[in-house]
Amino acid sequence: MHIRFLVLLFVVLGKFSLAASVKDGFEALKIYNYFEAKRIFQKKLKKFESPCSFGLATIYYRRDNPFHQLDSAFKYVLKAEKSYSLVKEKLRKELAPFEFDELSIYDLKRRISSEYFQFAAKQNTEAGYQAFLDTHPWANERFVALHRRDSISFYQAMRENTSVSFQAFIKKYPESEYTKLAQDEIYLKEYEERTAGKTLAEYMLFLEERPNSPYAMHAENEIYRIQTKINTIASYYNFISNFPNNRNVDLAWRKLFQIYMYTYTDERIEAFKREYPDYPFQSELNEEMNLAKQTLLPYKSENYYGWMTDQGQIVTDASYEGLNLYKEGLAQASRLGKIGFVDKNNKVVIPFEYDAASDFEDGRAIVEKNDKVGIIDRTGKLIFDIEFEDIGLYSEGLVFAKKDSLFAYYDKFGNQVVAERFEEAFSFQNGVAQVVLNGYENFIDRLGNVLFPLKYETVKRLTDNLFVFQEGDYYGLMTGKGNEIQPAKYDEIAILSENRIAFSLNGKIGYFDQFGAQAIAPIFDARPNISNFANFTAGYARAISKGKWGIIDPAGKWVITPAYQTLGEISDLVAFRKELLWGYIDLTNKVIVQPTYDEARSFDNEVAIVSFNNRYGMLDNKGTIIVPIIFDHIQKLNDKLYVQKTGEKLTLLYRDGNPLTTETYDQVRFLNKEYLILTTAFDVHYFYLPEMRLIKPNR
């Protein structure tokens, strides 16, 4: 009985001593006695695997002792975690003060894994991150490692930049956050690889084999671009016929119509309907025909502009910063400081993207952006890229343009037909154009050949076969082939006027005929700018002899002998000045109106403008005042209409002096041959000259 008790006591005491020794290890670890702690944990490892492994893992993890070794720390923390379930509950409670529990083991394991992540991060390779993920799937840095692994792999695929490389990435990491990007790249690379030659056949085959590709639309766009590159009616119609299911067919129809309508009339629309009965927007055509017959004018409302009819009926709200008249069915409009073009339906045909633009002429318009200019057609397609310093207007199918420092000539499709070599260039007229080449003025034909030797400072054209040239300070005449018919000895040579060309020689004025031969000897007094007074009008010209003015006929004979201080322009009644006052004579030298006025303009259509004491009025051809001499200024607009100024305001008058309207304006000017535009700070009105009718918005 005593023996059994002693044995039992020994066993119990032995167990307490073993547990106590593990606690001693943790006590030693607590005071950083790593040698003693390591000795105890290693000695008791077999009996108490989990706590001793945890202790050893802690020692090997810490860097403040000579035993730091991460692989060993990792090995022992895994053993501690694996065997923790075998630890008796009593022992767990005894070791609880030393923070030995399942959570602490897991926390140490994660901290050890974080150290391994730092090693993987320094290596920063796909394989390194993958090894970390395989070995430490519980790590806090798992998702960072996944992201970095995938990004390295994805960007490697991007460096290879093939559909195969991206497919391999997706196969390797199908759940990656980069999978969608990789799939997008596959679509793109497949498209690029299959259409590398950018040929029509490749794009057509791609659509056949990959109809659901997100790049199918791009392929359709490229087919459209290739087929319509030359931007002709035929190219658009061929595209429509050959690719009826292409997404750009409607656009092609509209472009075709815009090109066809370079002459904008209802007759042209009718012709279009006959030629293209399959045009899908027939209702728009009918509306277009009605609009083609309709005149639309800009009106102003609170600093914005909209459209009204020529009867003043408002058809659109005022929403533009500026509007021009319609030209060839399109009108300039501006929004947010940018210029575009709208049609008569008020639809934007050419987007608001230009800093400035010209109106359309023969289906072309000059546009400006960032101080560079180009040319677009009615579809908005650039015929000339916006890279030129200067571009002229088309004339005889050609246009001059300067890209860098020299001018060249181009056709309406943007093809260069005369090389860049001119310092200055002008439009073609009757088959030739004036240029400046190597500092000399000259003329060229349509092939760019110069007409004359490069030796003349200036060359001006008088007729198709007669030119003025300058050598030094003097002028002469030559033919279009460069044959000099009058030497360079004249001080001035004027323009051709009624088969006479005035010239100045040694202080005298004479005349050549239209062929350059002398017709009237130089016997008349000269004065500067002879074109301003010596040209023939209605069979007569003013001339001066011994300081007195008279009138001569084409033979140089005096019709009115020189007896006047000054004569006005030639007309049925000619203004003359005598003793500082002006009157009128007829062409028989009969005085019709005695010198009465401070200023007198020659008669025009049986009326004349005169002034007295800085006030203006009008006379009829009998000298009767028909418009009182009370206005600050009067200016003729046409045979029936005049404008008078009182203070800063302008009013329209009939030629008999009756006011056309009581409204006054800040500015009156010609908009074109048919319309005057009359403006104030707040409003815009028009005057339709053929019908002598005022137009203003009906508000």
Any idea how long the chain is?
699
**pLDDT tens digits, one per residue of 327-371:** 988 999 999 999 999 998 899 999 999 999 999 988 899 999 999
- The three-point CA angle 76-77-82 to 5° equals 95
The region that residue 116 occupies, defined by phi over 0 for left and psi between -120 and 50 for alpha, beta otherwise, is alpha
Distance in Å from the first CA to the final CA of the chain: 128
Specify the DSSP class assigned to residue 665. B
Task: Please compute the mean of the pLDDT values over residues 35-46 and round it to a whole number.
Answer: 94
Residue 463: partners with Cβ closer than 8 Å, 6 or more residues away: 496, 514
Most distant CA pair in the chain, distance: 175
Residue 685: partners with Cβ closer than 8 Å, 6 or more residues away: 663, 665, 677, 678, 679, 694, 695, 696
Stretch (H or E) spanning 18: helix 2-30
Task: Please compute the mean of the pLDDT values over residues 533-560 and round it to a whole number.
Answer: 95
**Residue 650 token pair:** 């302008």
Distances (CA, A) of 229 to 194, 258, 334, 513: 22, 16, 28, 53
Q: What percentage of the chain reaches a pLDDT higher than 70?
A: 97
Rounded CA-CA distance 141/663 in Å is: 83
Question: Residue 248 CB: number of other CB atoms within 10 A?
Answer: 20
Rounded CA-CA distance 254/251 in Å is: 5
Specify the DSSP class assigned to residue 361. B
**Residue 338 token pair:** 């940018």
What's the pLDDT at 468? 97
Rounded CA-CA distance 255/567 in Å is: 59
Asked whether the beta carbons of 460 and 449 are under 8 A apart, the reply is no
pTM attached to this predicted model: 0.68
More confident residue, 463 or 11: 463
**pLDDT tens digits, one per residue of 367-417:** 999 999 999 998 898 989 999 999 998 999 999 999 989 999 999 888 999
**pLDDT tens digits, one per residue of 134-190:** 999 999 999 999 999 999 999 999 999 899 999 999 999 999 999 999 999 989 989
Q: How confident is the model at residue 442 (pLDDT cuts 50, 70, 90)?
A: very high
Q: How confident is the model at residue 592 (pLDDT cuts 50, 70, 90)?
A: very high
Q: Of the candidates 244, 259, 200, which has an alpha carbon nearest to the alpha carbon of residue 226? A: 200
The region that residue 261 occupies, defined by phi over 0 for left and psi between -120 and 50 for alpha, beta otherwise, is alpha
Q: Of the candidates 365, 553, 597, which has an alpha carbon nearest to the alpha carbon of residue 584? A: 597
What's the pLDDT at 262? 78
Distances (CA, A) of 61 to 13, 56, 117, 140: 33, 8, 14, 17
Task: Please compute the mean of the pLDDT values over residues 469-479 and round it to a whole number.
Answer: 95
Burial class (CB in 10 A: 0-12, 13-18, 19+), 633: middle
* Average pLDDT value for the chain: 91
Residue 632: partners with Cβ closer than 8 Å, 6 or more residues away: 614, 615, 616, 644, 645, 646, 647
Q: What share of the chain is helix, strand, coil (3-state, %, to 5)?
A: 30, 35, 35
Distances (CA, A) of 440 to 424, 469, 470: 10, 11, 10
User: Is the per-residue pLDDT at 6 higher than 50?
Assistant: no
Give the up-direction half-sphere exposure of residue 137: CA atoms within 13 A in the CB hemisphere. 1
What's the pLDDT at 1? 41
Distances (CA, A) of 86 to 47, 48, 58, 89, 92: 11, 9, 20, 9, 10
**pLDDT tens digits, one per residue of 628-680:** 999 999 998 888 889 989 888 899 988 888 888 888 999 999 988 889 999 98
**Residue 424 token pair:** 């200055």
More confident residue, 498 or 10: 498
What's the pLDDT at 516? 96
Task: Please compute the mean of the pLDDT values over residues 235-251 and round it to a whole number.
Answer: 96
Residue 218: partners with Cβ closer than 8 Å, 6 or more residues away: 191
The strand order across the sheet containing 364-369 reads 356-357, 364-369, 372-377, 382-388
